Amino acid sequence: MTRSPSRSSPRSTELGLIVLTALITTAAYILAGFGTLASLPVDIGPFLVVILGLLVAAHLATRRLAPRSDRVLLPLAGLLNGIGYVFIARLDEGLAGLQATWTAVGVGAYIITLLVVRRTRGLERYRYTFMLAGVGLLLLPLVPVIGRNINGARIWVRVGPFSFQPGEPAKIALALFFASYLVEKRELLGKAARHLGPIALPRLRHLGPVLLAWGASLVVMMAERDLGSSLLFFTFFVVMLWVATERASYLAIGTLLFSAGAVVAWRAFDHVQVRVSMWLNPWQGIAQSVPQIAEATFAMAWGGIAGTGLGLGQPGRIPASETDFIFAAIGEELGLLGTTAILIAFILMVGSGLRIALRARNPFDKLLATGLTAIMGFQAFIIIGGVIRLVPLTGITLPFVSYGGSSLVANYVLLALLMRISDAVDEDDPAPDANEGRYPAAREFESPS
Amino acid sequence: MNRQIRRLGITMLVIYGALFVQLNVVQVFKADEYRANPANRREILRDFGKPRGQILASDGTVLARSVPDVGSFPFRREYPTGDLFAHITGYYSFSFGSEGVERSYNDDLAGRTGKVSVDGLAKLLVDEERTADVTLTLSPAVQQAAKDALGDKQGSVVAIDPRTGALLAMWSNPSFDPNAVSINNQEAAGAARTALLADPAKPLLAHAYRETYFPGSTFKVVTAAAGLTAGKVTLDEPVYPASATYVPPLTNLPIRNFANSSCGGSLLLILQVSCNTAFARMGVDIGAEALVSTTKAFGFGEVPPIDLPNATAATTADVAFFDRNTPLLAQTAIGQNTVRATPLEMALVAGAIANSGIIMTPHVMAEIRDNDARVIDRWEPRPWRKAVEPGVAATLRDAMINVVQRGTATRLAVPGVPTAGKTGTAQIGNGLSHAWIIGFAPADAPRVAIAVIVNGQEGASEQTGGRVAAPIGRAVLSAALAVTP
């Protein structure tokens, strides 16, 4: 049997892509150095070693711990992480070392997750632990002593010298809980009480979980003023509910509930009104001070199609350019080409994640992969859409790209879980050798329902 | 579940597609609009980080240059000639934007034009700034002569080469020191600008091409041109009756001559003594259509296409306006009421007579050179409009020579050089008037045309223009003739 390149071992493909990622990142780093200082960055040696070392370490661990897992997810995450690092280093040298450290911790968390979680189904029995952990983490910033208000949002927790955003690990814990809970209850929740035309309405008492999640998301939105996370939690919960029950009515109910909540919040809270009016008219009051969304728009427009070139723009003018607004900084210096590349990277990751979900054999893996992918995809959409004014701006991090330890570590754990599920997909295959095509079309399009 | 997962995938594709569309809107389709937003400081910040080309006078005198600075920016703009060319060069300020040549030739000075950058591509790898120097047509000698001649009096002086449209001098008093508003200390620059804005004499405003005044009797040149063009006036006909007052139709308010003197006669004589009653009669006789069309042919009603920002148009009423306003038509014919002109426009009127009826496009740029002193742009003289036929221009030239030889403008005569001119005194009430002179020399082969206005002078007789403005015009004509070959 001949082995065409596309059918070579996933790990070899992955290694090749990782080398490419390392090359791109290093080249970008050198260019950014030339652009800002007109000289070769002095710490180029250690930097190369760190980037290459971390990516290769993650690759080797995957090779050993999940040999048949997806081949593009890790290089894509590495690429996003690398480009993010280049911009963070270029924007604030002080943050570069921290971000490198967090990348190392993130890759460590990735390896540990693969090491500890050998079968995702083993996680099912901890569902209520995950629920408690998730809800607890979510509400942790509200605890008086350790909770911190930063930039008007109460989403930080500070213990001793360490501060982190518990919302980031919370979303994984909640995805795990939702997946296992919904797998058990999906039959029940899927039963229609009565039909309203084409819409099958669920029984009233089965709406309990939806209402609970809605309430939780509203608490997050109002008490912590964290609109982005609130939107994200509710969205991925409703999506998981819909996928699990195969009932579109949950989507409709979820949308209605969220819209109602949003309208109430808009009426009741100044900070929500500010966000909406800034979205509709970012030029308001521009004579006194330039709103951050307008500054981001200026940056992206200044970049145009090809960008100013790395290190040659003025992204320092954008507020929070290392975190929530890093996409605008990329837009300024790499232009439409760079921002499109980031979009493509995310849509490829989403595609890979959903493909993993499609191939997963057991419903728990399917749901978990769907949930984790939805988190990543929607999170990137919400913040990118906010920065470019497609939707109102709600501050959350851009996965793998933004500066921030909590976000980076959580996303690497999320990635490890997806990898684990994709590895299990193939473990279940009866005879890998006889299955040269690996993903036969027939199975891909079978309907399990 | 797979069906839902596939639908989720499609949904994701759709919303990411929406992101891509919006990215194109922000970064491509509306990019220019966002870049031009006044609150967007990126362009000016970048430009302030690097040196800028020089602005030079016609003799090479540096009018504006970038000098190294300590503080907010590595460079600051310096204007070695102080207030002398402030209304021409303008200023280049971080806080207040730019004005004058600094604004109209910003792309060249900043090294951003196609000509500079395409050529500069090859030199991209060597660390060299590609900016261009702009050389102006203005002469420091003529400009200084204008400033000295006007002295403390408020007013404007414009000197132009009628053959090319090149400005030789353009001075308005009061002026300002562009260094004060261009310094990088934004507080000090702001204080300087606030003080300038508070000055009732408006020193920041380049009155010479941005402020309009009643042209008074200098406009009689245009009225005469209209009469000649319409064929209703010749050197001999008509002979206007000698009178001290003229009552136009539809009113009983008479138009008077200065000091109620009596005057009349044919064209040469009525222009020589600047006879109000005769020209008012001429305006009514030839009609609104003839007067307005010639007025517009001289450029009234249109912003002159000068290469300086925000020039102001001279104004005139439309033909229809005069349908029931014959009295106003009479007043318009003597340069009052419905006509207003900038000093620049009146210099163009004089230039049109000097240049056989053709008004050349007025300009300040002579040429633009890159860092290697290669010329990348040179002003090609081009006509702006045809004001009158050459024959009409020749007749008016003779009439204006006569005014200098025997009439109200004798003080304009440059010794040894045949000079043509016309005075004006536009009354503004309280016994005050704007004193005007327009003219050109040498009258047989004109090289310089001028317009001078001295604001708010004591006296309201027709002699005021000749007494106050003509000597200034003569000084500027002499200085300009010395520098124009």
- For residues A310 and A359, membership in a common domain is answered with yes
Task: Tell which residue, B340, B348, B337, B302, has the closest CA to residue B213.
Answer: B340
Give the span between the Cα atoms of B316 and B318, in whole angstroms. 7
H helical segments located in A38-141: 44-65, 73-91, 93-116, 127-139
Least confident range of B10-14, B91-95, B402-406: B91-95
- For residues A132 and A93, membership in a common domain is answered with no
| Residue A374 forms contact with B (CB below 8 Å) | yes
| Residue A187 forms contact with B (CB below 8 Å) | no
The answer to whether residue A401 sits within a structural domain is yes
Q: Which residue of A has its CA nearest to B7?
A: A243
- For residues A72 and A154, membership in a common domain is answered with no
- For residues A448 and A303, membership in a common domain is answered with yes
Task: Name the token pair of B381.
Answer: 């003289």
Task: Tell which residue, B409, B426, B410, has the closest CA to residue B460.
Answer: B426
pLDDT at residue B105 in the model: 92
Q: Which residue of A has its CA nearest to B43?
A: A302
Task: Tell which residue, A169, A73, A95, A90, has the closest CA to residue A411.
Answer: A169
Q: pLDDT at residue B107 above 90?
A: no
- For residues A228 and A325, membership in a common domain is answered with no
Q: pLDDT at residue A45 above 80?
A: no
| Residue A175 forms contact with B (CB below 8 Å) | no
A290 vs B116 pLDDT, higher one: A290
| Residue A237 forms contact with B (CB below 8 Å) | no
Q: Which residue of A has its CA nearest to B38?
A: A287
The answer to whether residue A431 sits within a structural domain is no
Which residues fall within 8 angstroms of residue A352, CB to CB, at 6 or more apart? Answer: A70, A72, A73, A76, A418, A422
3-state secondary structure of A338: helix
The phi and psi torsions of B457 (rounded to 5 degrees) equal -85, 150
Distance from CA of A385 to the nearest CA of B (A): 6
Using CB atoms, pick whichever of B1, B12, B13 lies closest to residue A363.
B1
The answer to whether residue A338 sits within a structural domain is yes
State the catalytic residues of B: 217
User: B19 and A381: CB-CB below 8 Å?
Assistant: yes
Mean pLDDT of all residues in B269-277: 92
- For residues A148 and A252, membership in a common domain is answered with yes
Distances (CA, A) of B85 to A71, A239, B140, B170: 69, 69, 9, 8
Q: pLDDT at residue A221 above 80?
A: no
A31 vs B130 pLDDT, higher one: A31
Asked whether the ipTM of the predicted complex exceeds the cut of 0.85, the reply is yes
% pLDDT > 90, chain B: 65
B29: chain A residues, CB-CB within 8 Å: none
Residue that is last in its domain, among A263, A279, A298: A263
3-state secondary structure of B306: coil
Give the span between the Cα atoms of A74 and A415, in whole angstroms. 8
User: Could you tell me if A165 and A403 are in contact, meaning their C-beta atoms sit under 8 angstroms apart?
Assistant: no
Mean pLDDT of all residues in A376-386: 94
pLDDT at residue B186 in the model: 79
Give the span between the Cα atoms of B388 and B360, in whole angstroms. 13
Task: Tell which residue, B11, B21, B23, B20, has the closest CA to residue A377.
Answer: B11
Q: Which residue of B has its CA nearest to A389?
A: B22
- For residues A134 and A107, membership in a common domain is answered with no
CA angle B353, B356, B358 (to 5 degrees): 85
B29-83 per-position pLDDT tens digit: 998 888 877 777 777 777 777 788 999 999 999 999 988 887 777 888 899 999 9
User: B19 and A287: CB-CB below 8 Å?
Assistant: no
Distance from CA of B5 to the nearest CA of A (A): 7
User: B22 and A385: CB-CB below 8 Å?
Assistant: yes
Mean pLDDT of all residues in A210-218: 73
3-state secondary structure of B188: helix
A159 vs A109 pLDDT, higher one: A109
Amino acid identity at B461: S
| Domains, chain B, ordered by start | 216-364+384-483 (3.40.710.10)
Least confident range of A126-130, A354-358, B412-416: A126-130
- For residues A134 and A100, membership in a common domain is answered with no
Best of A302, A321, A349, A375 to disrupt the B interface (most B CBs within 10 Å) is A302
Task: List the strands of the sheet with B55-56, edge to edge.
Answer: B75-78, B62-68, B55-56, B133-136, B365-369, B375-378
- For residues A228 and A286, membership in a common domain is answered with no
A313 vs B236 pLDDT, higher one: B236
pLDDT at residue A447 in the model: 43
Q: How confident is the model at residue A194 (pLDDT cuts 50, 70, 90)?
A: low
Q: How confident is the model at residue A196 (pLDDT cuts 50, 70, 90)?
A: low
B4: chain A residues, CB-CB within 8 Å: 242-243, 246
Give the span between the Cα atoms of A256 and B189, in whole angstroms. 56
B23: chain A residues, CB-CB within 8 Å: 300, 331, 336, 339-340, 343, 388
A253-284 per-position pLDDT tens digit: 888 888 888 888 888 877 778 788 888 887 77
Give the span between the Cα atoms of B382 and B166, in whole angstroms. 11
Distance from CA of B165 to the nearest CA of A (A): 38
User: A38 and B127: CB-CB below 8 Å?
Assistant: yes
pLDDT at residue B129 in the model: 56
Residue with tokens 């660390």: B127
| Residue A393 forms contact with B (CB below 8 Å) | no
**How would DSSP label each residue in B22-53?**
HHHIIIIITHHHHHH-TT--HHHHHHHTS---
Residue that is last in its domain, among A228, A244, A263: A263
Task: Name the token pair of B456.
Answer: 């708010």
B26: chain A residues, CB-CB within 8 Å: 297, 300-301, 331, 388-389
| Residue A37 forms contact with B (CB below 8 Å) | no
Mean pLDDT of all residues in A119-136: 86
Question: What's A213's DSSP letter?
Answer: H
B343-393 per-position pLDDT tens digit: 999 999 999 999 999 999 999 999 999 877 888 889 999 999 999 999 999
Distances (CA, A) of A201 to A82, A197, A212, A246, B125: 47, 10, 18, 12, 68
Task: Name the token pair of A85.
Answer: 């690092």
| Residue A114 forms contact with B (CB below 8 Å) | no
The phi and psi torsions of B449 (rounded to 5 degrees) equal -120, 145
A384: chain B residues, CB-CB within 8 Å: 19
User: A340 and B41: CB-CB below 8 Å?
Assistant: no
| Residue A363 forms contact with B (CB below 8 Å) | yes
Q: How confident is the model at residue B126 (pLDDT cuts 50, 70, 90)?
A: very low
Distance from CA of A246 to the nearest CA of B (A): 6
The answer to whether residue A389 sits within a structural domain is yes
pLDDT at residue B409 in the model: 92
Mean pLDDT of all residues in A398-427: 89
Residue that is last in its domain, among A243, A263, A283: A263
Q: What is the CA radius of gyration of chain B?
A: 27
Domain with A23, as residue range(s), is: 1-116+269-426+437-449
pLDDT at residue A449 in the model: 40
Give the span between the Cα atoms of B281 and B268, in whole angstroms. 15
% pLDDT > 70, chain A: 83
Q: How many residues does the structure list for chain B?
A: 485
Distance from CA of B109 to the nearest CA of A (A): 20
Q: What is the average pLDDT value for chain A, to the nearest integer? A: 82
CA dihedral for B136, B139, B140, B146, sign (positive or negative): negative
Using CB atoms, pick whichever of A239, A301, A336 lies closest to residue B8.
A239
A215 vs B392 pLDDT, higher one: B392
Mean pLDDT of all residues in A68-93: 90
pLDDT at residue A288 in the model: 63
Using CB atoms, pick whichever of B4, B35, B46 lies closest to residue A242.
B4
Mean pLDDT of all residues in B398-408: 94
Chain B contacts to A (CB-CB under 8 A) = 1-6, 8-9, 12-13, 15-16, 18-20, 22-24, 26-28, 30-35, 37, 39-42, 45-46, 127
B125: chain A residues, CB-CB within 8 Å: none
Q: pLDDT at residue A4 above 60?
A: no
Best of A37, A235, A241, A297 to disrupt the B interface (most B CBs within 10 Å) is A297
Give the span between the Cα atoms of B98 and B106, in whole angstroms. 9
Buried b (16+ CB within 10 A) or exposed e, A345-381: bbbebbbbbbbbbbbbeebbbbbbbbbbbbbbbbbbb
The answer to whether residue A357 sits within a structural domain is yes
Task: Tell which residue, B81, B156, B206, B205, has the closest CA to residue B472.
Answer: B156
H helical segments located in B68-219: 86-89, 100-104, 106-109, 114-120, 140-150, 178-182, 186-198, 207-210
The answer to whether residue A432 sits within a structural domain is no
Distance from CA of B73 to the nearest CA of A (A): 14
Give the span between the Cα atoms of B42 and A313, in whole angstroms. 9
Q: pLDDT at residue A304 above 60?
A: yes
Domains in chain A: how many in total?
2
Mean pLDDT of all residues in A11-27: 89
Give the span between the Cα atoms of B456 and B435, in whole angstroms. 8
pLDDT at residue A197 in the model: 65
Mean pLDDT of all residues in B158-166: 96
B46: chain A residues, CB-CB within 8 Å: 314
User: Could you tell me if A179 and A367 are in contact, meaning their C-beta atoms sit under 8 angstroms apart?
Assistant: yes
pLDDT at residue A7 in the model: 54
B3: chain A residues, CB-CB within 8 Å: 246, 447, 449
User: A302 and B12: CB-CB below 8 Å?
Assistant: no
Task: Name the token pair of A254.
Answer: 């979820």
- For residues A273 and A257, membership in a common domain is answered with no
Q: How confident is the model at residue A39 (pLDDT cuts 50, 70, 90)?
A: low
Q: pLDDT at residue A416 above 90?
A: yes
Mean pLDDT of all residues in B450-470: 84
- For residues A381 and A318, membership in a common domain is answered with yes
The answer to whether residue A8 sits within a structural domain is yes
User: Could you tell me if B453 and B436 are in contact, meaning their C-beta atoms sit under 8 angstroms apart?
Assistant: yes
| Residue A305 forms contact with B (CB below 8 Å) | yes
- For residues A184 and A328, membership in a common domain is answered with no
Q: How confident is the model at residue B175 (pLDDT cuts 50, 70, 90)?
A: very high
A47 vs B16 pLDDT, higher one: B16
pLDDT at residue B98 in the model: 85
Give the span between the Cα atoms of B72 and B188, in whole angstroms. 13
Which H or E run includes A331? helix A326-359
Peptide bond preceding B327 in cis form (omega within 30 of 0): no
Q: pLDDT at residue B423 above 60?
A: yes
